[in-house]
Amino acid sequence: MSHNNLIENPLVSIVVPVYNMGDSLTQCVCCLLDQSYKNIELVLVDDGSTDDSLTVCRTLARKDGRISVIHTENRGSGSARNEGIKASSGRYIYFPDADDVLSSDAIAIMVDAITSDLTCDLVVFGFRSIKASGEEISVKVYEERIATGDELRKSYSECMGTRTKWGIQGAPWNKFFDLEVIKKYSIIFPNLRRHQDEGFIGRYMCYVYKVKFIPDVLYTYKVNDIKKTWSKYPLDYINAVIGLNEVRKTTIYQWNSDDFQTQQMLQKEFICNTIKALELVFSPKMEGGLSERKRFIKKGINTSKILEVPIPPILGLYQRAALKLMNNSMSLTLLLFYIKTRFEKWGIL
């Protein structure tokens, strides 16, 4: 990666998608502007909010010249971040979520980490997960390590997910990216309503030369409760699952055909996400009776072609049972999903 034009105190672009965050946006923006590292530009992308978010964004921009505001129709956070990338002029770029918390020295630490090695183009750092009440759930701390992109792509299983040892796949908020790489290779978030972050990171990792993992815990992530999680999944979630799998066929699946562990993890994730999409048959958003619910599941099975996917040895018992029932009885499949989703909402799972 080219760092020939590297300068001291490089400009950092911070892109924040905003959707109906009017009540809490000011707190988020203040947290970002109060960073000890001052050479930043904050790009707020209002994703077609229906509250006063756009007004709040513009009010904040009038108070600080480092803020710019973009307004788009509602197309999801991935599309909003793509608009933010186009408008960004920094040397590096960071993608926090609007409802989480970044430590005050985070950007300074990220900049120091990425500029201390002129061949580094990705920094990965630790994070804390908390409940809405503030109770801490877990802390992810990385061991300090520098790894080449070739090394990681050859054996990627420990990078799959956010919580694996060298977790890279997942959310973008615990990663610091090289904006030159993004623009050089025209890397964008795929047009998906869910899992767009996963697709973007997979695309970015195709071109990474060197990754630096640092032990610093710089981000606090607020975990949604199960009711909020259900409300965030659209009934057509199956389209996002299929879309992510298509992106992965052109990225992670291509890196090393002999990396069987990663291949199996990808297959397992696709099956699990597809089943999650079919479980939305019992979402509060779902209307209709038994016959409509059966049609919903049948359509999802046919669209995803889930029954054609090789069953990896690491697949769980619940998913194996679901696949078997899908082949034999739609009524029993519905019953299984009903029991599972009830247990989940009651907190038993």
User: Which pLDDT score, from 0 to 100, does residue 231 have?
Assistant: 65
- Do 207 and 73 share a domain, yes or no? yes
Mean pLDDT computed over 331-337: 94
Report if residue 5 sits inside a domain: no
pLDDT at 2 > cutoff 50: no
pTM greater than 0.85 (yes/no): yes
Domains held by the chain: number: 2
**Phi–psi pair at 177, nearest 5 degrees:** -110, 155
Among 203, 222, 241, which residue terminates a domain? 222
pLDDT at 345 > cutoff 70: yes
- pLDDT tens readout for residues 122-140: 999 999 998 877 888 999 9
Mean pLDDT computed over 95-111: 92
Token pair of 147 as six digits = 């790894």
Whether the CB-CB separation of 101 and 173 falls below 8 Å is answered with no
- pLDDT tens readout for residues 146-197: 999 999 999 999 999 888 999 999 999 999 999 999 999 999 999 998 999 9
- pLDDT tens readout for residues 58-68: 999 999 999 99
Q: How many Å apart are CA 253 and CA 266, to the nearest integer?
A: 8
Confidence of residue 5 (pLDDT cuts 50, 70, 90): very low
Mean pLDDT computed over 302-320: 96
- Do 90 and 200 share a domain, yes or no? yes
b/e burial code for range 70-87 (CB count within 10 A of at least 16 → b): bbbeeebbbbbbbbbbee
Confidence of residue 348 (pLDDT cuts 50, 70, 90): low
The shares of helix, strand and coil residues in the chain, as percent rounded to the nearest 5, are: 45, 15, 35
- Do 149 and 252 share a domain, yes or no? no
User: Which pLDDT score, from 0 to 100, does residue 3 have?
Assistant: 45
Q: DSSP label at 342?
A: H
Report if residue 322 sits inside a domain: yes
Residue with tokens 């964008």: 188
- Do 68 and 159 share a domain, yes or no? yes
Q: Alpha helices of the chain — where are they, by DSSP H?
A: 25-33, 53-63, 77-87, 106-115, 149-154, 179-184, 196-205, 226-232, 237-249, 252-255, 260-279, 290-304, 317-328, 330-345
Token pair of 152 as six digits = 């990681």
Report if residue 78 sits inside a domain: yes
* Host domain of residue 331: 226-345
User: Which pLDDT score, from 0 to 100, does residue 284 have?
Assistant: 85
pLDDT at 229 > cutoff 80: no
The larger pLDDT score, comparing residue 295 to residue 1, is at: 295
CATH assignment at residue 57: 3.90.550.10
Average pLDDT, the chain: 92
pLDDT at 343 > cutoff 90: no
- Do 140 and 169 share a domain, yes or no? yes
Instruction: Tell which residue, 272, 277, 283, has the closest CA to residue 227.
Output: 283
- Do 218 and 230 share a domain, yes or no? no
Strands 67-72 and 40-47 turn out to be parallel
**Structural element, H or E, at residue 334:** helix 330-345
